[in-house]
Amino acid sequence: MKSAIYPGTFDPMTYGHLDIIKRAANIFDELIVGVLDNKEKTPLFSVDVRVNILKEATKDLPNVKVESFGGLLSDYCKSKGIFVVVRGLRAVTDFEYELQMSQINRKLSDNKLDTVYFNTSLKYSYLSSSSVKQIAQFGGDLTDFVPGFVADMLLEKFDQKN
Ligand code: PNS
């Protein structure tokens, strides 16, 4: 069985992420969506909420599992026997960071971990979790960016903050 992991912060998941998940799930037998639980970062949504958003959005994809992980991605992959990392590339500006991450993960895994890139669908090429949060903060329309239930959660969060 060919498994892969799609790791990320997913704060929150956008339609761009979901697009990559669906396409990767068509190629691999099993896709684990790995949600980073990073105590140093202060995400808008807790790791449990980010995991639940992804679980809800992928509930109709039987070969997709959503899990949280902490520490090094290479260690997590080793513990699960996974050798393929999936990442999305929106534009050439993503490339330098992604290449560096891929090389580090390869080095840390004794050359066992490979990264495969999906080019983000054009209609999502401008989309990021950060821009979605900014739009939500100022009450903008999120319809084309995140599922309705995520939009509601974002608006509620910013309502509480204001
Ligand atoms: O969605 P993001 O924030 O671009 O995802 C980044 C992520 C989670 C893939 C990356 O930060 C990561 O793998 N962090 C775990 C720590 C690690 O393994 N670091 C070494 C590679 S740079």
pLDDT, tens digit (0-9, with 9 covering 90-100), for 97-115:
999 999 999 999 999 999 9
pLDDT, residue 10, reads: 98
pLDDT, residue 54, reads: 98
Tens of pLDDT, residues 36-70: 998 788 999 999 999 999 999 999 999 999 999 99
pLDDT, residue 16, reads: 97
Helix, strand, or coil (residue 118): strand
pLDDT, residue 40, reads: 80
CA of 22 from ligand 1 middle (Å) equals 21
pLDDT, residue 162, reads: 58
Q: SS3 string of 80-101?
A: HCCCEEEEEECCHHHHHHHHHH
CA of 9 from ligand 1 middle (Å) equals 8
Could you tell me the two tokens for 64? 């997709």
Q: What is the dihedral of CA 51, 10, 156, 59, to 10 degrees?
A: -40
C-alpha to C-alpha distance for 36 and 125, rounded to whole angstroms = 22
Cα of 149 vs its chain's centroid, Å: 17
pLDDT, residue 132, reads: 97
CA of 96 from ligand 1 middle (Å) equals 14
CA distances from 17 to 78, 79, 103 (A): 24, 24, 22
Percent helix, strand, coil in the chain (nearest 5)?
45, 20, 35
pLDDT, residue 159, reads: 83
C-alpha to C-alpha distance for 162 and 158, rounded to whole angstroms = 6
Find out whether the beta carbon of 121 lies less than 6 Å from any atom of ligand 1: no
Catalytic residue of the set 50, 74, 87, 90: 90
Of the ranges 69-73, 90-94, 130-134, which one carries the lowest mean pLDDT score? Answer: 90-94
Q: Do 162 and 21 form a contact (C-beta atoms < 8 A)?
A: no
Catalytic residue of the set 17, 50, 74, 87: 17
Q: Is the pLDDT of residue 160 over 90?
A: no
- Domains of the chain as residue ranges with CATH: 3-122 (3.40.50.620)
The question of whether 87 is a catalytic residue gets the answer no
Angle, CA of 44, 11 and 142, to the nearest 5°:
95
Tens of pLDDT, residues 107-145: 999 999 999 999 999 999 999 999 999 999 999 999 999
Which burial class, exposed, middle or buried, applies to 79 when counting CB atoms under 10 A from its CB (0-12, 13-18, 19+)? exposed
- pTM confidence score: 0.96
